[in-house]
A and B are shown apart, each in its own frame.
Chain A
């Protein structure tokens, strides 16, 4: 039943999106700037160096493309989560609470923004270009790549969710969730540049490096199935944390008043 509700939410948003084609163009240009900034950064570096921490130009560009795809998917599908602070403050959460479908699901998908998908070709384009620089990647590697990407999307979404749950305790922290989006800067760079404790931190507790790097590592064959297991464990961890924060936060909301 929850699944049908989510699918229905998504299909309704599709209809809604078709009203806003021109905005899609503007969004596209905005996305273009982001992606090109990433590409130009690596172009500037690789113009004078062969490798960054063992990563070749093709691999670095694959990272840019993959991260872009991931961020756009999150923007497209899970933006509804961002509204939690606003809903809590304006007492509109009641609309979502009084339904027999888990509220976090409703929240996550109620603002599916498919215009963001217009920006997917940018990331895919960069990824395709990157692949042209990396000869000999067998097609089957796209399977673990996609799986890894889906896991990363779920982890990223849960990170945002955990953060917005804090709005139950911190009122008027409307833009606090930008913290996760800022932290995503760490996801831009090849895993090799991080060492030691930082690297451990960024692949577990704050798994930002995991987000785009792991799928690329699986694609280029530099990493194996253990990466997928790693991601699954991190996902389980964040899912637990998310559930805990939501339950506690909801209790507080119910006690403190709308």
Chain B
């Protein structure tokens, strides 16, 4: 499979993103501020050596900083122009192209995010620095790459899910609303607002795949998941990913057929 068109798309999108420098700077605030704000709350609750659900203040602060980085950098509602491509007939070009629509948009989404991934690290480092008294580093060094690795798979998962929602454009003009709605829910389900394992009804939240985009990688980082459990979780993650990829392919075919049937 030729990678060139995808790499090119990725690079171009990175450049485009950098032109909107304001967005990149504004992104810093999104990575930095929420963990800082919630710190005060948890200090009041957990200050003085208390713990809640196994989280003491340091663990909780670290949880928020790391998870906020992961969640902020995961595009839950994959960006595509597919709605417009359908409306103005550009989609017909895709029927002729030897490249994958999904693949190209994936490359563009990743490319567009790269500046944010980097800027986000600065933001996360900044808030970790401000709260350095509480910020924890993992005991075992392998935890960091392992957490990032799981997260990256989670990113693919989230993108595929978002892409599938975007495909609803084949059937309805209202897909934007659905996508946005799902986006808000996804951040919650990834553990962005509250650690999933201290919530009421945690069994439900822990069943869903969105935990891999935030909560789970952070659990690895925090040392709350043992090495032995990783293979099983990886299996689950890949299972979900495979399911979504198959679903994506299927819906794409169905949608394209509908599009062609309608005369393009």
Contacts and interface: CB of A to CB of B under 8 A. Distances in A.
Contact of B37 (A36, A41, A188): A188
B234 interface: no
Interface residues of B, number: 35
Given A172-B20, A175-B23, A189-B40, A47 B200 contact: yes
B141 interface: no
Interface string A163-178: 0000000101111111
B178 interface: yes
B19 interface: yes
A53 B44 contact: yes
A102 to B, nearest CB: 26
A178 B26 contact: yes
Nearest to A198: B40
Interface string B23-47: 1011101100110011011011100
B254 interface: no
Contacts of A27: 177, 181
Interface in A89-135: none
Interface stretch (B82-90, B104-112, B191-199, B235-243): B191-199
Interface in A182-196: 182-183, 185-186, 188-190, 192-194
What bracket does the count of chain A residues touching chain B fall in?
Answer: 35 or more
Contacts of A37: 188, 193-194
Majority DSSP secondary structure for residues of B touching A: helix
Contacts, number: 109
Chain A CB within 10 Å, residue with most, of B41, B178, B181, B184:
B41
A192 B30 CA distance: 24
B254 to A, nearest CB: 23
B22 A52 contact: no
The binding surface of chain A is classed by DSSP as helix
Nearest to A54: B44
A58 B29 CA distance: 31
Contacts of A85: 22
Residue of A26, A47, A194, A198 with most partner-chain B CB within 10 A? A26
Interface string A138-153: 0000000000000000
Contacts of A172: 19-22
A30 interface: yes
A40 B197 CA distance: 12
A67 B72 CA distance: 22
B46 to A, nearest CB: 9
Interface string A27-54: 1011001101110110111011100110
Given A27-B177, A44-B198, A174 B34 contact: no
A178 B194 contact: no
B34 A182 contact: yes
A22 interface: yes
**Best-surrounded residue of B29, B44, B180, B184 (most CB of chain A within 10 A):** B44
B118 interface: no
B199 A40 contact: yes
B174 interface: yes
Given A27-B177, A185-B34, A193-B40, A44 B199 contact: yes
Interface string B2-32: 0000000000000000011111011101100
B188 A173 contact: no
Contacts of A193: 40-41, 43-44
B208 interface: no
5 contacts: A37-B193, A38-B193, A175-B23, A178-B26, A186-B33
Given A26-B181, A33-B184, 14 more contacts: A22-B177, A27-B177, A27-B181, A33-B185, A37-B194, A40-B199, A174-B22, A175-B22, A175-B23, A175-B26, A177-B26, A182-B33, A183-B33, A193-B41
